[in-house]
C-alpha cells in the first residue's frame, strides 16, 4: 500500500509540474508583446501570472516556503502591470476631446514606463529564473508516512 501511495504521489507531482511548466511558458510568452507596447498584452500577462500563482497553490504537493516566495513575486509582477492594463482599456475608449486624449496618452505612457521598468529589473529576471528552476526541479513535499500506517 505504501508503494502504491508513493507512486500516486509521484504521478501527481509529474502532472502538476507539467501543468505548471505550461503556465509559466504562457506567462513568459507575453513578455515581448508587453515590451513592445501592445494594448492587450499587459492584461494577458497579468492573467497568466494569476494562473501561475493559482497553479502554485497546491501546498500539499509543493514546499510551502518556496511557493509563498514565488507567489509574492508574481503578485508584485501583476501589480506592476496593472496600471498598464487599466490604461490600455481606457486608452482605447478615449473621448474625442483632445485634452482627454492627451491626459489618457500621458497616463498610458507612465503606466507603460512602469511596466517596462519592472520587466527590465533584476527582480523580474530573478523571478523568471526562479520559476524555471521551480519547474525543472519542483520542491515537492514528501507524503506524511505517519498517516499511511493508520488503519
What CATH number was assigned to the domain covering residues 2-148? Answer: 1.20.1420
DSSP letters of 8-28? HHHHHHHHHHHHHHHHHHHHH
The whole-model pTM stands at 0.78
Backbone angles phi, psi at 59, to 5 degrees: -75, -10
pLDDT in tens, 30-85: 999 999 988 789 999 999 999 999 988 866 778 888 899 999 999 999 999 999 88
Q: Which pLDDT band, with edges at 50, 70 and 90, does 96 fall under?
A: low
Percentage of residues in the chain with pLDDT exceeding 70? 71
CB atoms closer than 10 angstroms to residue 151: 2
| Predicted local distance difference test score (pLDDT) of residue 10 | 53
Domains of the chain: which residue ranges?
A: 2-148
Amino acid at each position: 500500500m505504501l508503494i502504491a501511495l508513493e507512486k500516486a504521489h509521484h504521478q501527481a507531482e509529474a502532472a502538476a509540474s507539467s501543468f505548471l511548466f505550461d503556465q509559466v511558458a504562457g506567462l513568459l510568452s507575453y513578455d515581448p508583446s508587453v515590451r513592445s507596447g501592445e494594448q492587450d498584452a499587459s492584461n494577458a500577462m497579468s492573467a497568466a501570472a494569476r494562473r501561475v500563482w493559482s497553479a502554485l497553490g497546491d501546498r500539499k504537493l509543493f514546499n510551502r516556503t518556496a511557493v509563498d516566495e514565488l507567489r509574492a513575486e508574481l503578485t508584485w509582477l501583476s501589480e506592476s502591470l496593472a496600471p498598464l492594463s487599466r490604461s490600455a482599456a481606457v486608452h482605447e475608449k478615449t473621448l474625442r476631446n483632445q485634452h482627454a486624449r492627451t491626459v489618457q496618452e500621458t497616463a498610458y505612457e507612465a503606466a507603460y514606463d512602469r511596466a517596462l521598468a519592472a520587466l527590465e529589473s533584476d527582480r523580474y529576471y530573478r523571478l523568471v529564473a526562479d520559476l524555471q528552476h521551480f519547474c525543472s526541479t519542483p520542491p515537492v513535499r514528501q507524503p506524511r508516512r505517519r498517516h499511511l500506517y493508520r488503519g
